[in-house]
Structure 1
């Protein structure tokens, strides 16, 4: 059993989408419901099936793409575009649903419509099923041999398996021109006829999409007939964000191998200037927070920390771009990062697997890595034969620390910004008159003074507070409870007494303080439980869990102690003789007599 195989059991026909040792992902080709995982043993009664049987049962007529008119092809590719982002996540139900939801919002279409198209495509594994129902009646214009050739091309050639024409021809003869004993009949079309029909009907767009996929076509083959960056970013203020794993292994100060660092950068789409970067061991929202802080930092002061002196105009970016363009990475779609819109910034999420739409930042990574790699050969840099059989283990050549490598990255960025010639930049008459040099920094400095440039000035504290994760806090008599810890701030007595919920920003690295967010204003609350001061959230949660485990472990002993206590009390109470004639007179005299009777001189017998 292989991936994409058709299986049949009675009236049921299924297609295998993924195969694992103990379970298989299938789709019901008749009902066309969403794929499900089943145990391998559940398919023991199924036998192999061919596409023709499925087509006959479902009354589906295989259509050659070239036989579709323009409207049908447009509908087909539009529908494939809707389902393309979810195809890589077919086996992951959670991610698949998430991608379908985001696609539905982006294209203003219902999720059920996308599911229908997705199930239809998965059932037949043929893009033509997505075409509109109208069919062209031009089959009469083709001979029987031509219809068979067209069928073979669609079935065996125009697929992601990328089989050759000769293979498709051979498979056609096997399926259409052999008898029951697989003996070739006397009359059949020659390979030259087969090739002639292919060349006559070949469409390059269909060729690229069917064999390499729509994403690859959009990235590498589609006609580039737009106006370039001028149509997307006509002025300064559109920043493109992305991350990459650097092609070098680094060590720590003790000489131990750490791994490959992550470089995250923001590139201005108009000028190509690197607005900011962060080099870190951890990606995600953590690296984005560092990137945003680096963008608004004084770059001359930043470089000075590493012993590098630059002119302010070589890297004069200390404001955030008003528009940030990202891909569909989870860190960019997280609530933490999207909170940056509160500063007036617009965030654009591009479709998945479309790096060509943010080619400026992709080019930046290529240039930076190509710049330093040629000078660091043998020092942990990864070569093209990485992971090939018999290749050198580049980890053993690592000799640079993160600090050393960051100095190199800064020098590369300075070169990229202020010394690398920006080729083919669409100069305007105003730029030529101003004698703007073809460097990213010069274009940036000139662009900042032009109409349409949109940069947002924001303080460090405001930016950090905006990007902190948020949760819901609850007021009570005991203070503001956040993440199972109590916090206090003067002036909130009424809220403590009334109760209620509030939005709170917190720092996972230090739980000492949280910030209550109300009407865009942050109010600082300080932790009440001093034992948690200075600790990170993970450490606090570990302490809380450990405390609960200790208390839980003592539950049985506590119950046994309560049982023993009840037994002792009952035994003593049972041994006392009860009397109904208790005198209630002269209580004060009785109390004084009992005091004298039980009086003890504590100094008697005390050691000096």
Structure 2
């Protein structure tokens, strides 16, 4: 008998860990329980096992468990580290393995120091003692899937087909479907043996997955919007400092009129909110949304806000709204205007665009909250002046269009006042203050946090000019260099520095302004090179006017086409009549010069 030898008897396989005068200290390698003492006389029925433990266990299990020998090198470096870490937990216990009290004390000590349960420590210890191999500490035993009975398979089938659907059948209805489809004979009579409703309900509750329940019955969109766990970190999700602008638009809850008092409708407010500080970086108040409102918004963001407010007779200082640069990152949803090529051209200025997945409003909660706060700021004071109440869609509700009193100019002044309050006086109670910010007594207002962050590391703002933004967001089209100039929208443009390209006839991408076709720009080395219009009749005209002018020209040409053809026919007849006169002349090739001189003299005499 020697230490660490394996012995077997019937279905038992034990390893000798220590030898005393009267007993052996062994561990059951099959059960992997804590080691124990066995008297020497009780050990006489055990036989020496000449195979390694993996082969022996396969023999004992009749090869059903497929236990294979494993090596530490078969695992990744990460898994090897796990094995060594687990071995370090049990290493201090090994010298005291035979002393039960010390062993128990050390097991509790190692469990507490490694933040695991005592049962986990015991499991690692017994596995190592049985296999005497550190690799066993990361070997994962196969978990055999429970085989369902015929009734359980039928219940699962019925739940998937009739319960987990958008029809939202109840459990009782689904149970009836189960019996009708699976437990009735050809005559529709219920068979003798069938699962009870309690069995059916027990299986449902045991295997119910709430995520599957919500998605299958209400749809993925509803799950993402109303049921999905909200695990985002709000501000820290996207922004560690200022420079992450969240974009969105909303229709304002007010009807406006023009200067003549005619109802126009409800304006669209588009805004960019800094995710970190909650500062409103810029806004656009327009009658139409889409890329048009986004262009206005980009220009508003980089506008000097002191000058902007002065245009509306509102006086502020620079520290009130010190924002005249583009954020380095734009966070948008998947609206058509945000994923259009036209808007994505803004990335040429160094801006990164992040398109959020659908139905994730909490990821841009800053801008969603902004709209709520702004509208709730002005609505109590504008009741009876076109403000829409909650009942405006109900039958018989008041027509709030009749209350409209304000013009777009009036309402924009109100929006500006609301934004100034939002930026300077709204308390940010949940802002994640740093220790330095608290020491410097930075007030919990958006503009104060913004002004502090302007001079900190990680501020992500881009300084661009209004002209750069305007040219970058212009629509683009393919143009072609020809001998007649640069052809864009069937119009000719010129720049004297591009003679070689006119001769080569290359294609080029061109930016143009649909409202004024007098100039187009080609993009060369990130610069916009202007080309001027050759055809002066189209100067300062927009694209629609040019198309209408061309159409009228084509209609005019088409209206006289018949006259042109008739003129050609008449011309042909006249020429033939003249040429076909019966004149018999003998052509004499002699004295051509003399005859020509004679005819010239005759012509001269006739002209005198």
- Correspondence list, 1:43-442, <5 A: 140-142=147-149, 144=151, 146-178=152-184, 189=195, 191-442=197-448
- Correspondence list, 1:535-546, <5 A: 535-546=541-552
Deviation of 1:226 (Å): 4.3
- Supply the distance in 1 between the matched residues of 2:225 and 2:249 (Cα, whole angstroms): 19
Listed one character per residue, the Cα deviations across residues 93-115 of structure 1 (whole Å, up to 9, x for unaligned) are xxxxxxxxxxxxxxxxxxxxxxx
Match of 1:593 among 582, 602, 605: 602
**Cα distance, 1:508–1:154 mapped onto 2, change above 3 Å:** same
- Supply the distance in 2 between the matched residues of 1:500 and 1:382 (Cα, whole angstroms): 56
- Correspondence list, 1:493-572, <5 A: 493-572=499-578
**TM-score normalised by the chain length of structure 2:** 0.70
- Supply the distance in 2 between the matched residues of 1:139 and 1:486 (Cα, whole angstroms): 77
Rg larger in 1 or in 2? 2
**Cα distance, 1:169–1:388 mapped onto 2, change above 3 Å:** farther
Q: Which residue matches 1:478?
A: 484
3-state SS of 1:514 partner: strand
Deviation of 1:511 (Å): 1.0
- Greater mean deviation of Cα atoms: 164-173 or 402-411: 164-173
Asked if 1:459 is matched to 2:459, the reply is: no
- Supply the distance in 2 between the matched residues of 1:563 and 1:137 (Cα, whole angstroms): 96
- Supply the distance in 2 between the matched residues of 1:253 and 1:200 (Cα, whole angstroms): 68
- Correspondence list, 1:33-48, <5 A: none
| Aligned positions, number | 463
**Cα distance, 1:178–1:258 mapped onto 2, change above 3 Å:** farther
3-state SS of 2:516 partner: coil
**Cα distance, 1:182–1:416 mapped onto 2, change above 3 Å:** farther
- Supply the distance in 2 between the matched residues of 1:530 and 1:327 (Cα, whole angstroms): 43
**Cα distance, 1:492–1:200 mapped onto 2, change above 3 Å:** closer
3-state SS of 1:258 partner: strand
Deviation of 1:208 (Å): 2.1
Deviation of 1:140 (Å): 3.9
Listed one character per residue, the Cα deviations across residues 470-502 of structure 1 (whole Å, up to 9, x for unaligned) are 223333333322211122334344444444333
**Cα distance, 1:309–1:180 mapped onto 2, change above 3 Å:** farther
- Supply the distance in 1 between the matched residues of 2:144 and 2:578 (Cα, whole angstroms): 103
Deviation of 1:540 (Å): 0.9
Q: Which residue matches 2:44?
A: none
3-state SS of 1:370 partner: helix
- Supply the distance in 2 between the matched residues of 1:444 and 1:424 (Cα, whole angstroms): 16
Q: Which residue matches 2:456?
A: 450
Deviation of 1:183 (Å): 5.8
Deviation of 1:302 (Å): 0.7
- Supply the distance in 2 between the matched residues of 1:164 and 1:557 (Cα, whole angstroms): 80
**Cα distance, 1:252–1:431 mapped onto 2, change above 3 Å:** same
Deviation of 1:236 (Å): 0.9
**Cα distance, 1:261–1:176 mapped onto 2, change above 3 Å:** farther
- Supply the distance in 1 between the matched residues of 2:383 and 2:196 (Cα, whole angstroms): 55
Unaligned runs of 5+ in 1: 1-135, 601-608
- Greater mean deviation of Cα atoms: 266-275 or 553-562: 553-562
Deviation of 1:404 (Å): 1.8
Deviation of 1:321 (Å): 0.6
Deviation of 1:390 (Å): 3.1
Q: Which residue matches 2:86?
A: none
- Give the aligned CA root-mean-square deviation in angstroms: 2.6
- Supply the distance in 1 between the matched residues of 2:180 and 2:404 (Cα, whole angstroms): 56
Deviation of 1:285 (Å): 1.7
**Cα distance, 1:414–1:543 mapped onto 2, change above 3 Å:** same
- Supply the distance in 2 between the matched residues of 1:450 and 1:220 (Cα, whole angstroms): 38
- Supply the distance in 2 between the matched residues of 1:180 and 1:255 (Cα, whole angstroms): 76
Deviation of 1:180 (Å): 5.1
**Cα distance, 1:567–1:536 mapped onto 2, change above 3 Å:** same
- Greater mean deviation of Cα atoms: 546-555 or 355-364: 546-555
Unaligned runs of 5+ in 2: 1-142
3-state SS of 1:575 partner: coil
3-state SS of 1:332 partner: coil
Listed one character per residue, the Cα deviations across residues 95-140 of structure 1 (whole Å, up to 9, x for unaligned) are xxxxxxxxxxxxxxxxxxxxxxxxxxxxxxxxxxxxxxxxx99674
The answer to whether the Cα contact below 8 Å between 2:234 and 2:365 also exists between their aligned partners in 1 is no
- Supply the distance in 2 between the matched residues of 1:550 and 1:470 (Cα, whole angstroms): 31
Deviation of 1:582 (Å): 5.0
Listed one character per residue, the Cα deviations across residues 548-604 of structure 1 (whole Å, up to 9, x for unaligned) are 2332343333223212211221122112525233574432223322443x448xxxx
Deviation of 1:317 (Å): 0.9
- Correspondence list, 1:574-585, <5 A: 574-582=580-588, 584=592, 585=594
3-state SS of 1:512 partner: strand
